[in-house]
Structure 1
Amino acid sequence: MTTLPTGKRILITGGTGQVARPVAEALAEHNDVWCLGRFGAEGVEAELAGKGITTWHWDMDDLSGDSLKGLPEDFTHVLHSAVRRGEDGDFNAVAEVNAVAAGRLMEHCRTAESFLYVSTGALYARQTLDHPYTESDPVDGVADWLPAYPVGKIATEGAVRAFARVLGLPTTIARLNIAYGPGGYGGVPMLYFKRMLAGEPIPVPREGQNWCSLLHTDDLVAQVPALWRAATTPARVVNWGGDEAVGITDCVRHLEALSGIEARLVPSDVTRETYRFDPALRMSLTGPCRVGWRDGIRRTLESLYPEHVRN
């Protein structure tokens, strides 16, 4: 497994989120880490500062780039995880804001050794539920559960590829699967568990089950340095998920066994679609994961909902 870098100046966006915050906190111990964002949640900026992280107010909606003025330009590594997801359904705004923000950031950090953009597997054209998606599979940006989201990611990947070539900036585009772990809200598995606690229905396919490649926080953090080292010009695209194929229904059943709480699985035409990744390319770059999904789910549940874990 990769050793975390030391003595670097690192810029991270989305540093208050499920993906980037654990990375920022892990790297801050031996590096000069800056987090960019709006920091709307009360106390979060002070929490990051308490970890030795420098914060800088940056709004992705600022298409002029003025909010980057005065920010140092000598970062050695960049992790761009911030995203406008598009819950309002404004496809044009999602495409423009995300693509322009990424371009502005890459231009500002054009001398960096490596730029890592966090994309998504949700942009792949849907095939069979258990299809192992590879980096060369076709994309279409269709996601009934959040329609604008993958469209914004496709637009931003285009901008990132263009700026990587124009600036000669070594870049990795990592298409993330489902990240989960004890930090933040716990990831998608814990969203399902909250539904279980509330007795709410969990939509599942009418036949079969959705499959994914769960990636525990510990493995995500450990793999970031390898993805930085893998950066190339033109940009390298890699699927970023765990080693194991995981059925979502199987995951929910595991949560039932751990907690004794019953899940209301309801067959539906519209579900939160997930994607199983072929891990071959990512494993060649980062090595194998260390956290198995069953143990990872148990540890996450014990951390966030200890009162609901069976002895």
Structure 2
Amino acid sequence: MGLPRGKKILITGGTGQVARPVAEALATQNDVWCLGRFGTAGVEQELAEKGITAWRWDMDDLSAESLKGAPEDFTHVLHSAVRRGEDGDFNATAEVNAVAAGRLMTHCRTAESFLYVSTGALYARRSLDHQYTETDPVDGVADWLPAYPVGKIGTEGAVRAFAQVLGLPTTIARLNIAYGPGGYGGVPMLYFKRMLAGEPIPVPLDGQNWCSLLHTDDLVAQVPALWRAATAPSRVVNWGGDESVGITDCVRHMEALTGIEAKLVPSEVTRETYRFDPTLRRELTGPCRVGWRDGIRRTLESLYPEHVRH
């Protein structure tokens, strides 16, 4: 059905890897506002040049005044901003994310649809190749960033509560690994940077981690469908690509494309990833259009063209 037109859209995290491409794509036919701190010099001007209104909002401000002055007549909301918890403060990570979501949903309670970007990292870890569904149990354990999934679980609880109390149609989309030519390129490009630097890449002692890579083009195209799928009480959907992708296979693919060697080191601690059962998401959005091998090649050609073999 394509992207919406003539809507008033609020996006948080609009300078990040996930939401910025969405904001820029939607701004061509809609009134798009991005809320954030805009700590990077010049980013507000960059957004303005794309027709996006930047409005300063610090989600760490838990006061009732934090959104004072912001419009309330948004038709659609994409909430992607997050306090990741790199400082290891579990309490602050849970409180800031949950309160910010509640404030935002209350402020935008008349919207047609609210989309909250959660994470697959909250699932209780099973076998490396387990295909996670929306009904799998969660536990919020992630050795690589312990506070992050705990904050997401807490915020999902807040989002569920406000969706039901306010009657605000809501989709909770548990994102897998988004990647593409925008921003830093996503997790695969973090691995490629390690390859360029000759740094080791930890991999499981046996087998490999699996994921469901989602290219930016598909992510942008699927947002309107996830808005249309919103319900009150809220709906949960795993948001990843159609294909199961082994992380080691992905790294080997980048080796073949560039000739850069990857130093894979077996380890008990790796950046755990999860592969999704795409059934529900495909029912809501239709199939993805970008295969992961082509998507990785296109991303490398955009961000590291000097290293891609031709």
TM class, shorter-length: over 0.9
Deviation per CA, 1:33-68, whole angstroms, max 9, x where unpaired? 000000001111100010000000000100003231
Identify the residue that residue 13 of structure 2 maps to in structure 1: 14
| Contact kept in structure 2, 1:12 and 1:36, CA below 8 Å | yes
* 1:173 partner amino acid: I
Moved over 4 A (4+): none
Deviation per CA, 1:192-227, whole angstroms, max 9, x where unpaired? 000000000000000000000000000000000000
Counterparts of 2:91 and 2:30, CA distance in 1: 37
Counterparts of 1:141 and 1:83, CA distance in 2: 16
Counterparts of 2:23 and 2:14, CA distance in 1: 6
> TM-score normalized by structure 2?
1.00
Identify the residue that residue 161 of structure 2 maps to in structure 1: 162
Residue 56 of structure 1 pairs with residue 61 of structure 2: no
Give the 3-state SS of the residue equivalent to 2:66 in structure 1.
helix
Deviation per CA, 1:62-94, whole angstroms, max 9, x where unpaired? 000323101010000000000000000000000
Compute the RMSD of aligned alpha carbons: 0.4
Counterparts of 1:155 and 1:10, CA distance in 2: 25
Alignment map for 1:139-288 (pairs within 5 Å): 139-288=138-287
Counterparts of 1:49 and 1:21, CA distance in 2: 13
Counterparts of 2:66 and 2:125, CA distance in 1: 38
What number of residue pairs does the alignment pair up? Answer: 310
Structure 2: segments with no counterpart, 5+ residues: none
> TM-score normalized by structure 1?
0.99
Deviation of the 1:239 alpha carbon:
0.1
Structure 1: segments with no counterpart, 5+ residues: none
Counterparts of 2:64 and 2:135, CA distance in 1: 33
Residue 41 of structure 1 pairs with residue 33 of structure 2: no
| Contact kept in structure 2, 1:57 and 1:67, CA below 8 Å | no
Counterparts of 2:65 and 2:205, CA distance in 1: 49
Counterparts of 2:65 and 2:47, CA distance in 1: 23
Give the 3-state SS of the residue equivalent to 1:54 in structure 2.
strand
Give the 3-state SS of the residue equivalent to 1:96 in structure 2.
helix
Counterparts of 1:46 and 1:155, CA distance in 2: 34
Q: Percent identity?
A: 88
Counterparts of 1:226 and 1:218, CA distance in 2: 14
Alignment map for 1:75-94 (pairs within 5 Å): 75-94=74-93
